[in-house]
Structure 1
Amino acid sequence: MALRRLPQREPRVKGAGRRPLRGRLTALAGILLVAFSAREAVSAVSPLLGQIGADLPLNAVTTGILGMLPTASFAVMGFLALPLLRRIHLEHLLLVAILLTTLGQLGRAVGPDVLAFLVSTCIAMLGIGLVNVVAPPLLMKFFPDRIGGLAALHVTLLGVSTAVAAQFAIPVGTLYGWRFSIGIWAALSVLAALPWLILLMAGRTVDHSRTSPANDQQPPPANGAKPWRSSIGWGTALVFAGCSSNTFAALTWLPAVLVDRGLSQETAGSMLALYSILALPVALMVPMVVVRMSRPLPVAVLFVVAFAVGYGGIIFAPPASAAVWVVTAGLGQGAYSFAFIMINKRTRTQSGSGSLSAFSQGTGYALASVGPFLFALLHTPGDGWLASFGMLGAWLVVLLAGAIMVNKPRMLEDQGPFPVRDRTKELP
Structure 2
Amino acid sequence: MATQQHVPDRTPSTEQSATRRNQTAHLLEPATKPDSRHAVLAGTTLLAVAVTLAAANLRISVTSLSSVLGDVQRGLTATSAWASAVTAAPSICFGLAALVSPWLARRIGGGPAIAAALAVLAIGLVVRVLAGSSLLLSGTFVACAGIAVCNVLVPVVVKESFPNRIGLITGVYSAAMAGGSAIAAAVTPPLETATGGWRPALAAWAIPAALALALWLIGARRDAEAVAVDRSAHGDRNLVRVPMAWVFTLLFSVQSVFAYVIMGWLPEILRDAGIGRDAAGVLLGITMVVAVPLNLVIPHLAAKLKAQSAVMVGLTVAPVIGVLGLMFAPAAVPLLWALLLGAGMTIFPVVLLMMGLRTRTSAETTQLSGMSQGFGYLIAAGGPFAAGLVRGLLGSWTVPLILVLGILAAQAILGWLIGRPRYI
Q: Calculate the TM-score normalised by the size of structure 1.
A: 0.85
Separation of aligned partners in 2, 1:355 and 1:301: 25
Q: Which residue of 2 aligns with 1:101?
A: 121
Query: What fraction of aligned residue pairs are identical, expressed as a percent?
Result: 26
Relative distance call for 1:142 and 1:62 in structure 2 (3 A) is: same
Give the aligned residue type for 1:136. Answer: P
Q: Which residue of 2 aligns with 1:76?
A: 96
Separation of aligned partners in 2, 1:239 and 1:225: 21
Conserved? CA contact 1:85–1:354, under 8 Å: no
Conserved? CA contact 1:142–1:208, under 8 Å: no
Separation of aligned partners in 1, 2:225 and 2:8: 17
Q: Which residue of 2 aligns with 1:125?
A: 144
Give the aligned residue type for 1:133. Answer: V
Among candidates 125, 134, 155, match of residue 115 of structure 1: 134
Conserved? CA contact 2:80–2:392, under 8 Å: no
Separation of aligned partners in 1, 2:279 and 2:226: 46
1:89 maps to 2:109: yes
Unaligned runs of 5+ in 2: 10-40
Relative distance call for 1:29 and 1:223 in structure 2 (3 A) is: closer
Q: Which residue of 1 aligns with 2:14?
A: none
Q: Which residue of 2 aligns with 1:421?
A: none
Q: Which residue of 2 aligns with 1:418?
A: none
Separation of aligned partners in 2, 1:249 and 1:171: 23
1:52 maps to 2:72: yes
Give the drift of 1:134.
0.6
Give the aligned residue type for 2:102. Answer: L
1:363 maps to 2:375: yes
Give the aligned residue type for 2:222. Answer: T
Relative distance call for 1:262 and 1:9 in structure 2 (3 A) is: closer
Separation of aligned partners in 1, 2:245 and 2:161: 23
Conserved? CA contact 1:241–1:395, under 8 Å: no
Separation of aligned partners in 2, 1:304 and 1:261: 25
1:206 maps to 2:223: yes
Conserved? CA contact 2:309–2:415, under 8 Å: yes
Separation of aligned partners in 1, 2:303 and 2:405: 28
For 1:319, what is the secondary structure of its paired residue? coil
Q: Which residue of 2 aligns with 1:187?
A: 207
For 1:206, what is the secondary structure of its paired residue? strand
Separation of aligned partners in 2, 1:158 and 1:206: 26
Separation of aligned partners in 2, 1:118 and 1:318: 30
1:323 maps to 2:335: yes
Q: Which residue of 2 aligns with 1:416?
A: none
Q: Which residue of 2 aligns with 1:243?
A: 255
Give the aligned residue type for 1:132. Answer: N
Q: Which residue of 1 aligns with 2:16?
A: none
Relative distance call for 1:319 and 1:106 in structure 2 (3 A) is: same
Conserved? CA contact 1:45–1:182, under 8 Å: yes
Q: Which residue of 2 aligns with 1:143?
A: 162
1:153 maps to 2:172: yes
Give the drift of 1:271.
0.8
For 1:44, what is the secondary structure of its paired residue? helix
Q: Per-residue CA shift, 1:294-331, capped at 9, x if unaligned? A: 22111111222212111111111261311112211221
Separation of aligned partners in 2, 1:126 and 1:156: 21
Separation of aligned partners in 2, 1:380 and 1:100: 33
For 2:67, what is the secondary structure of its paired residue? helix
Q: Which residue of 1 aligns with 2:354?
A: 342
1:226 maps to 2:238: yes
Q: Per-residue CA shift, 1:339-368, capped at 9, x if unaligned? A: 111111111321111111111111111111
1:134 maps to 2:153: yes
Relative distance call for 1:23 and 1:153 in structure 2 (3 A) is: closer
Give the drift of 1:25.
2.5
Q: Which residue of 1 aligns with 2:283?
A: 271
Give the aligned residue type for 2:164. Answer: D
Give the drift of 1:207.
7.9
Q: 4+ runs of 1 displaced by more than 3 Å?
A: 8-12, 207-210, 218-223, 380-384
Among candidates 53, 56, 63, match of residue 43 of structure 1: 63
Q: Which residue of 1 aligns with 2:408?
A: 396
Separation of aligned partners in 2, 1:23 and 1:376: 43
Conserved? CA contact 1:234–1:402, under 8 Å: no
Separation of aligned partners in 1, 2:266 and 2:219: 40
Give the drift of 1:251.
0.8
Relative distance call for 1:382 and 1:10 in structure 2 (3 A) is: closer
Q: Which residue of 2 aligns with 1:162?
A: 181
Unaligned runs of 5+ in 1: 1-7, 13-20, 413-428
Separation of aligned partners in 2, 1:363 and 1:349: 21
1:174 maps to 2:232: no
Separation of aligned partners in 2, 1:242 and 1:208: 40
Give the aligned residue type for 2:139. Answer: S
Conserved? CA contact 1:36–1:157, under 8 Å: yes
Separation of aligned partners in 2, 1:208 and 1:142: 12
Separation of aligned partners in 2, 1:268 and 1:142: 39
Give the aligned residue type for 1:358. Answer: G
Give the drift of 1:219.
7.0
Separation of aligned partners in 2, 1:22 and 1:96: 19
Q: Which residue of 2 aligns with 1:423?
A: none
Separation of aligned partners in 2, 1:22 and 1:9: 25
Separation of aligned partners in 1, 2:174 and 2:225: 22
Conserved? CA contact 1:237–1:359, under 8 Å: yes
Give the aligned residue type for 2:49. Answer: A
